[in-house]
Structure formats: structure tokens, C-alpha cells
Amino acid sequence: MALRFAVLAAFVATASAVAIGYPAPLGAYPAVAKVADYDPNPQYSYSYAVSDALTGDNKSQQESRSGDVVTGSYSLIEPDGSQRVVEYTADPVNGFNAVVHRGAGVVKAVAPVAKFAAPLAHPLYG
């Protein structure tokens, strides 16, 4: 009986099969391209600074570009409290060059840790 059902199912599947074709091709459209003007002497300048007394986040950065020469600097506070200032330049001839200046560290006083006596609980086994 199962063989008859399998043959019948195969016959129905074959009879209901149809050829699936590809849709008609669309016509060719011209590519839309925007041509950007080339600036042979690009120039920009930006800077920012953060001074958050709540979190202790103090940093700044400034950078400027004139042609192929980029100059800038940034500063931040290290975990030990010292200030790191990095001044950098980049150009096609010398590549990237950075000079790092580091100020003296500021030692922060550490709050004393409160000590508590250990509980005097001893297990009692009966």
C-alpha cells in the first residue's frame, strides 16, 4: 500500500511540475555618477577639549592641514596624574613624526580602607 502511495505522490508531483523561467531582461540605463571636484590643496582645522570634574576626564586635541602637511597635538591625563602632550606632524617626505612630552606625576592620596573584625562564629557539629 505504501508503495502505491509513493508512486501516486511521485506521479502527482511530476504532473504538477512547471518550468520556471527567468524574467525578461531590463533595458540598459546609463550609470549615474557624480564627479567630485579634486582639491589639490586641501585645508582644514579643528579642535576640541573636554574638562569633566565629575569623572576627572581632561583631554584636548587640535589638528590642521594645509595641502599634504598635517600638524596637530593632543593631551590627556595619565592614570598616575601626569599630563601627556603629543605634538605631531605628517607629510609625504618625512612621514608621521610625534614628540611626546610628559609632565611630573601627581600622587593622589589613597583613602584608608576600613577594617572590620572577623565574626567569631564557629560551626557547631552535634
Whether residue 113 is predicted with pLDDT greater than 90 in this model: the reply is no
Output the pLDDT for position 39: 86
pLDDT at residue 15 above 80? Answer: no
Q: What is the pLDDT of residues 32-74, one digit of tens each?
A: 888 888 888 999 999 999 998 888 888 999 999 999 999 999 9
Grid coordinates in use for 46? Answer: 579643528
Across 26-30, 35-39, 98-102, 122-126, least confident range = 122-126
Cβ 91 vs Cβ 68: under 8 Å: yes
* Type of residue found at 68: D
Q: What angle do CA 66, 88, 61 make, to 5 degrees?
A: 85
pLDDT above 70 covers a percentage of the chain that reads 87
> Which amino acid belongs to residue 96?
F
The SS3 assignment for 4 reads: helix
Q: How much of the chain, in percent, has pLDDT values that exceed 90?
A: 37
pLDDT of 18 > 80? The answer is: no
Looking at residue 61, its amino acid is Q
